[in-house]
Amino acid sequence: MKIYDRSGFPNPARIRIVLAEKGLDNAVEFVPVDLIGAEHKQEAFLSLNPSGVIPLLELDDGTLISEATAITEYLDNLDGNPTLTGNSPKEKALVHMMQRRAEAYVLDPIGIYFHFGTPGLGPSLQAFKSPEWAGRKEWADRNRATVEEGFRYFNKILGSSDYVAGEFFSMADITLFAGLAFGDAAGVHVPEELGNLIAWRGRVNSLPSVQNRSGQAFLPEDAKRLGF
């Protein structure tokens, strides 16, 4: 299998944690994609994934699977023992519900804020992300407010359970964790008073699969070089 990604970014980070959790690190070949140069927006990459996003999983038979959730589902079920996406119908429903909320309340709006409210990753990529328009700052600020409300939502949820979708570590936790790291890179930090969310982050950060990826997955290196 091949995974097209770029270490140090939130969605690739999600899959790298999944690989570590499932013991599949050595089963894949990583193919780096130049995000700053907007390689993922060029014809060669778009022929593989018309959505123009990473990560992208290529199976040995040539099948291409994009979207972090779909890739996670595939990898988690390879051994017939899904641990990250739920076993029972109830678990699966809750994991998918909370994983989508982690995207909608935190990860996605942080991405919008990053590309519209900051210089992002530089001019090559910005041409595809945030052309100049009158409402750009208002749009960025609105999404930052969404993120801050999302932080409060998950802080409340984590007041009554150890993990986002219940009492076991799941895909939903991975998504939220990557979102918080992206927030740090974009300058949107969890307030100190949200103790449940901060404590949860510490628990997740101590997991072996997260520790194993920490050097690659949670400090967007390109964004850091640009001053975030």
Number of domains in the chain: 2
* 3-state helix vs strand vs coil in the chain, percent to 5: 60, 5, 35
**Statement: residue 214 has pLDDT above 60:** no
Domain-embedded: residue 84: no
Are 225 and 204 in contact, with CB atoms under 8 Å apart?
no
Strands (E) in 6-152, as ranges, are 29-32, 56-58, 64-66
Q: For residue 39, give its domain range.
A: 2-77
Same domain, 59 and 142: no
Domain-embedded: residue 192: yes
Same domain, 98 and 197: yes
Same domain, 121 and 208: yes
Q: How confident is the model at residue 146 (pLDDT cuts 50, 70, 90)?
A: very high
**Statement: residue 217 has pLDDT above 50:** no
pLDDT of residue 126: 61
**Statement: residue 62 has pLDDT above 60:** yes
* pLDDT tens column, 19-44: 999 999 899 999 999 888 888 889 99
